[in-house]
Chains A and B, each alone.
Chain A
Amino acid sequence: MTEFFLFVVIMLCLLILVYLYRVIQGPTVYDRVLGLNGISTKSIILVVVIGMVYDREEMFVDISTGYALLNLVGAIAIAKFFEQRGGG
């Protein structure tokens, strides 16, 4: 079963590379914010799956919860900032 979880980890890393292309290339700043949102969603799943690989789920799931809340605060702050400043 560890091999299957390692396969899931590798697939998630490849998907993160696709989103990273959109973050670097994106025409407007909102494309970059959406790409960062996708990357953070995949990172949360990645942390949980890495916890499965190392057999320490109870610790890694807590880390992923904190990362999800941090992602919410960051994305809302960026969206509010560009909404008030305009353009981008």
Chain B
Amino acid sequence: MAVIAITFILAGLFFLLVAAIGMLRLPDVFTRSHAVSLTDSLGMFCILVGLALYQGLGSNMVKILGVLVLLFLLNPVIAHATLRAAFRSGVKPLGEEHK
């Protein structure tokens, strides 16, 4: 079980690393949101599933899976609220200002 948990955690760290590179390199707030909401959610999912598998069956596993479900609901909501605020207050998406 520990081998599967370590594999999940390392995969999650890889996805979080990809998200951080996207946060550095992407040019615009709307493109950066893909890095911070999509890839980040996947990395977080992998790490928390790995930690829950390492715990084994029990109340700790249920609590960690509860945190996982909570983050899976909250992360897209926060990204959507931020981007709606950005769009409504007049930040142009990347190809729009040349039209």
Which one, A33, A58, A65, contacts B67 given CB within 8 A? A65
CB-based contact B67/A64 at 8 Å = yes
Task: Report the bound CA distance from A31 to B47 in whole Å.
Answer: 25
Which one, A8, A33, A57, contacts B9 given CB within 8 A? A8
CB-CB under 8 A from A30, the residues of chain B are 29, 82-83, 85-86, 91
- SS of B interface (majority): helix
| Given A11-B13, A22-B24, A76 contacting B78 (CB threshold 8 A) | yes
CB-based contact A72/B89 at 8 Å = no
Contacts of A71-88 to chain B: CB distance below 8 A: 71-72, 75-76, 78-80, 82-83, 85-88
| Given A49-B51, A83-B85, A38 contacting B40 (CB threshold 8 A) | yes
CB-based contact A37/B71 at 8 Å = no
Which one, A18, A38, A79, contacts B85 given CB within 8 A? A79
Contacts of A19-77 to chain B: CB distance below 8 A: 19, 21-22, 28, 30-31, 33-35, 37-38, 41-42, 44-45, 48-49, 52, 57-58, 61-62, 64-65, 68-69, 71-72, 75-76
Band of interface residues on A:
35 or more
Q: List chain B positions with a Cβ less than 8 A from chain A.
A: 2, 6, 9, 13, 16-17, 19-20, 23-24, 29, 32-33, 36, 40, 44, 47-48, 51, 54-55, 59-60, 63-64, 66-67, 70-71, 74-75, 77-79, 81-86, 88-91
A/B interface sample: 27 pairs, CB < 8 A: A11-B13, A28-B91, A30-B29, A30-B82, A30-B85, A30-B91, A34-B32, A37-B75, A37-B79, A37-B82, A38-B20, A41-B75, A42-B16, A45-B44, A48-B48, A48-B64, A57-B55, A64-B67, A65-B70, A69-B70, A75-B78, A75-B82, A76-B78, A79-B82, A79-B85, A83-B84, A86-B90
